Amino acid sequence: MKIARLREWTFPVKTGLCLLFLAVSLCTGAQEKIMITHGPYLQAMTDSSVTIVWTTNKPAIAWVELAPDDSSHFYQKERPKYFSASDGLKNVSTVHRVTLGGLGPDTRYRYRVYSQEVLKHEWVKVQYGDVAATAVYQKKPLGFRTNGKPGPFEFAVVNDIHERNNVLKQLLGQIDLSSVAFVVFNGDMVSSSLSEEQVFRGFMDTATLLFASETPMYYARGNHETRGPFAARFPEYFPGNNGHLYYMFTRGDACFIVLDGGEDKPDSDIEYSGITDMDAYRTEQAKWLSTVVQTDAFRKAKYKIAICHIPPATGWHGNQEITKKWVPLLNEAGIQVMLSAHEHRHRIQQASEATRFPIIVNSNNNIIKASITGSEARFRIFDPGGKLVDELSIAPLK
């Protein structure tokens, strides 16, 4: 009888403890403060604009406060606010993108990002919660410089990192990230597109820690970024300056055309399960390319550089599509060099009658250190240990 009674009373006590633990857990979760979980980092830098991206753990409205980089304290006076908004409404999200326009060329600014939690939105009433923001008190405010600076500059290119943060750190550790104008991620930084956490854990948290909050990064999407349920959300985190994943930007005497090579196999391949439409997408880019190479910014540039993850070549479907649809346009436009990746090996494909510009195919374990001056554009390729692997120089156009 005693044992039976003990068992009768043991069950409700355990149940009560479990319920108490659950209640405490729910209460703790409900009281979790809003915080910035990833970023901020710079995207789509131009002479007059930049997009700043960051994420929070709770849905919120978001804005950026902007100040000139002068001797004044950030809060000497009220700074203008730029909100994340669409069609006249402030966006409520955990992914925040704010585009700052109307900026001066070659001008340095300081900035602070804010997110205010939205607890409830009923009819015309909105209940707000706490605010999370980057620091400007005990820590120097974040800053950036717009494009438009004349004269020489340097940049770096890495690719096919496939979530190997140690390799990314080792390669970027070879350069002074405070002195380069920008960094190019030339595709396949992840092995697949499954979640937000994968993107940040795989490489972007490392990039933000090393440089991306203050030095711009340009992204040429690779074929592995198109694979998985998260792939369609790529533009939310890495927007181009024209609303597309293919775009053009200028720096000094150079003009860069960034192309999205898409997938490497036919759209009908079993690996894609009928979800891709890359052939039409590459045709769309060809139409854009034929227009953008007629702009003054491109025509007047002394250096014309293309960036594309998949190189034009014979063999696989993606390579052949790029060769057929883009190379004739690039030849006619006078592209001087293309920076590619994808093959996980280093090679420089020299110019030929068919492709009238050299192609640097960068290895997944190398870094391209590029310098642009008035007399030459020099591309040097280094291995993880800092040993020079190869180099290529091109002269400016007259």
Q: Where are the beta strands (DSSP E) in 21-152?
A: 36-43, 50-68, 81-83, 85-86, 89-90, 93-100, 108-122, 125-133, 142-145
- What one-character DSSP code corresponds to residue 238? S
Q: Is there a shared CATH topology between the 36-144 domain and the 150-394 domain?
A: no
Average pLDDT value for residue range 202-213: 98
Could you report the per-residue pLDDT of 8-26, keeping only the tens digit for each? 334 444 444 444 444 444 4
DSSP 8-state class, residue 22:
H
Per DSSP, what are the bridge partners of residue 95? 55
Q: What is the pLDDT of residue 293?
A: 98
What are residue 111's DSSP bridge partners? 66, 142
* pLDDT above 90: percentage of residues in the chain: 88
Q: Return the domain boundaries, the chain.
A: 36-144, 150-394
248 pLDDT higher than 80:
yes
Fold of 150-394: Purple Acid Phosphatase; chain A, domain 2 (3.60.21)
Parallel, antiparallel, or unpaired for β 359-361 and 347-349?
Answer: antiparallel
For 262-292, write each residue's pLDDT tens digit: 999 999 999 999 999 999 999 999 999 999 9
Mean pLDDT, residues 161-166: 98
Residue 57 confidence (pLDDT): 98
Q: Residue 137: pLDDT band by 50, 70, 90 thresholds?
A: confident
**pLDDT band (50, 70, 90) for residue 3:** very low
Domain 36-144 has CATH 3.60.21.10: no
pTM for the complete prediction? 0.91
> Exposed/middle/buried for 383, CB within 10 Å: 0-12, 13-18, 19+?
middle
